[in-house]
């Protein structure tokens, strides 16, 4: 079955994940992580993509980004992948691939859904048992989003900016939101949409985009379709 084209439209944020090949590490030292973030910053600027959140894990990366032009995320990830693989292969005298095929991406619509994805991304180190507090993890956007620490890679989304009238208020509000107890159903839904690469957002918005694109962009209803010949009470 032919693979459906990605939904990569200007102004629509995307939750992106790229994993190391066979779940193997893609970062070996802090210098590698620094290099990746530098390359990401330069390439994102070139492709007019705004990075709102990120986390670098041992064997995978999560990003939350909004392209300003159609296809921007695809071009950014392709260039970043090539650039970083070349660096790793040269530095460690290796050959071959580093990434596990194509990156996965999930378009995210509406501010509440975007903030859920951003929280999911910044809580990755906590869920993995790497730290007891996401603020203690150096390689994510959480520090910059909860303190005066400046991160030149980040361009806050309007949903984050709406958390308060000034940086201090936004930092406190975001910290409180991240540290709230997260419903397991929310985490499962984010993972499902990312795995299926389907739009994460309210049904009314998803239906509108499906009508425009002429194809499904979200999970279908579970279970077998109802038979038209059955009475409603037996369905």
Is pLDDT of 235 > 50? no
Q: Which residue has the tokens 């049904």?
A: 203
The pLDDT assigned to 230 comes to 33
Contact 84, 99 (CB under 8 A): no
Looking at per-residue confidence, does 4 or 39 come out higher?
39
Looking at per-residue confidence, does 227 or 68 come out higher?
68
pLDDT by residue (tens digit) across 54-91? 999 999 999 999 999 999 999 999 999 999 999 999 99
pLDDT band at 6 (very low <50, low <70, confident <90, very high): confident
pLDDT by residue (tens digit) across 22-40? 989 999 999 999 999 999 9
Q: How far apart are CA 65 and CA 157, in angstroms?
A: 9
Q: Calculate mean pLDDT across residues 136-160.
A: 96
What is the set of domains in the chain, with CATH numbers?
14-198 (3.30.70.1290)
The pLDDT assigned to 214 comes to 62
Q: Burial, 229: exposed, middle or buried (Cβ in 10 Å; 0-12, 13-18, 19+)?
A: exposed
Contact 161, 141 (CB under 8 A): no
Contact 208, 217 (CB under 8 A): no
Contact 200, 193 (CB under 8 A): yes
pLDDT band at 96 (very low <50, low <70, confident <90, very high): confident
Query: pTM of the predicted model, to two decimals?
Result: 0.87
pLDDT by residue (tens digit) across 185-224? 999 999 999 999 989 988 776 666 666 666 565 555 444 4
What's the per-residue H, E or C state across 41-108?
Answer: HHHHHHCCEEEEEEEECCCEEEEEEEECCCCHHHHHHHHHHHHHHHHHHHHHCCCCCCECCCCEEEEE
pLDDT by residue (tens digit) across 111-132? 999 999 999 999 999 999 999 9
The pLDDT assigned to 101 comes to 86
E strands of the chain, at which residues? 14-19, 49-56, 60-67, 104-107
Cα separations (Å) of 141 from 127, 187, 229?
16, 19, 54
Q: Which three-class secondary structure state does DSSP give residue 208?
A: helix
Q: How far apart are CA 104 and CA 108, in angstroms?
A: 13
């Amino acid at each position: 079955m032919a693979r459906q084209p990605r939904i990569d439209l200007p102004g629509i944020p995307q939750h992106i994940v790229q994993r190391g090949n066979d779940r193997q590490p893609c970062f070996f030292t802090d210098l590698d992580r620094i290099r990746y973030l530098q390359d990401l910053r330069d390439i994102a600027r070139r492709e007019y993509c705004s990075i709102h959140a990120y986390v670098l894990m041992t064997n995978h990366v999560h990003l939350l980004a909004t392209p300003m032009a159609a296809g921007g995320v695809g071009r950014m990830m392709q260039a970043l992948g090539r650039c970083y693989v070349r660096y790793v292969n040269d530095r460690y005298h290796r050959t071959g691939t580093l990434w596990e095929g194509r990156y996965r991406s999930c378009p995210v619509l509406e501010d509440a859904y975007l903030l859920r994805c951003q929280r999911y991304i910044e809580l990755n180190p906590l869920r993995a048992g790497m730290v007891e507090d996401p603020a203690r993890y150096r390689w994510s956007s959480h520090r910059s989003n909860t303190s005066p620490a400046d991160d030149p890679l980040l361009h806050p989304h309007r949903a984050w900016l709406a958390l308060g009238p000034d940086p201090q208020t936004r930092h406190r509000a975001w910290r409180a939101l991240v540290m709230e107890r997260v419903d397991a159903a929310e985490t499962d839904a984010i993972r499902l949409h990312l795995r299926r690469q389907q739009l994460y957002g309210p049904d009314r918005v998803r239906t509108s985009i499906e009508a425009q694109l002429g194809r499904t962009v979200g999970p279908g209803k579970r279970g077998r379709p109802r038979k038209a010949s059955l009475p409603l009470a037996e369905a």
